[in-house]
């Protein structure tokens, strides 16, 4: 069965990568869906985010059943288009649940044949978010433990540049 894992990944964190790895061990194929939403302000552009996800995948041995796809519009419509039967999402805490429940219920109405399936974050990643990574890196903090090895340098370089501009 094919699944997709949609998200913004601005940037990818170890928490995201863990969800990808676990989903890849359950499903035959996992398409990481980098959803581009023009109303969402991102630090990294779509190509940069895609490259960072691909470099991160290399650091876990490039699983053969995972690929990264850039998409836009409604996730559920994109899932239908690529033939995914499941939408994978990660849940860190109760605060994620409320938002995720709303999205999953809307997706259920739009695409009743597609199941949203939740994977619970590993405890060591349950505090981790792209925003936390950006905030720490912008303030010259060490993000090495939070982002995949393959992507750390790209993330640091970009945010270091931005920190200089903001100073």
Binding residues vs ligand ADP (CB under 6 A): 7-9, 13, 15-16, 19, 89-92, 96, 121, 125, 128-130
- Among residues 14, 49, 89, 92, which one is catalytic? 92
**At its nearest, how many Å lie between ligand ADP and the CB of residue 150?**
17
Q: In the chain, what are the helix, strand and coil shares in percent, each to the nearest 5?
A: 50, 20, 30
40 is catalytic: yes
92 is catalytic: yes
Which residues, in sequence order, are bridge partners of residue 7? 34
- Among residues 39, 40, 41, 167, which one is catalytic? 40
In the bound state with ligand ADP, the residue whose beta carbon lies nearer, of 85 and 164, is: 85
**Residues 41, 157: Cα–Cα separation, whole Å:** 19
How would you list the strands of the sheet with 2-7, edge to edge?
66-72, 29-36, 2-7, 86-91, 115-120
In the bound state with ligand ADP, the residue whose beta carbon lies nearer, of 133 and 150, is: 133
- Among residues 16, 49, 50, 55, which one is catalytic? 16
**Residues 53, 17: Cα–Cα separation, whole Å:** 8
156 is catalytic: no
- Which residues are known to be catalytic? 16, 40, 92, 130
């Amino acid at each position: 069965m094919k699944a997709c894992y949609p998200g913004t990944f601005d940037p990818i964190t170890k928490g995201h990568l863990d969800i990808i790895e676990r989903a890849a061990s359950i499903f035959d194929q996992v398409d990481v869906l980098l959803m581009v939403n023009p109303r969402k302000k991102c630090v990294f552009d779509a190509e940069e985010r895609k490259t960072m996800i691909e470099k991160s995948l290399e650091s876990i041995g490039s699983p053969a059943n995972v690929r990264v796809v850039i998409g836009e519009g409604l996730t559920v419509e994109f899932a239908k288009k690529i033939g995914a039967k499941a939408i994978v999402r990660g849940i860190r805490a109760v605060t994620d649940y409320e938002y995720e429940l709303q999205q999953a219920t809307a997706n259920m109405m739009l695409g009743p044949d597609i199941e949203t399936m939740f994977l619970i974050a590993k405890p060591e990643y349950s505090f981790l978010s792209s925003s936390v990574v950006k905030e720490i890196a912008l303030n010259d903090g060490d993000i090495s433990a939070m982002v995949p090895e393959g992507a750390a340098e790209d993330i640091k370089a970009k945010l270091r540049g931005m920190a200089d501009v903001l100073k």
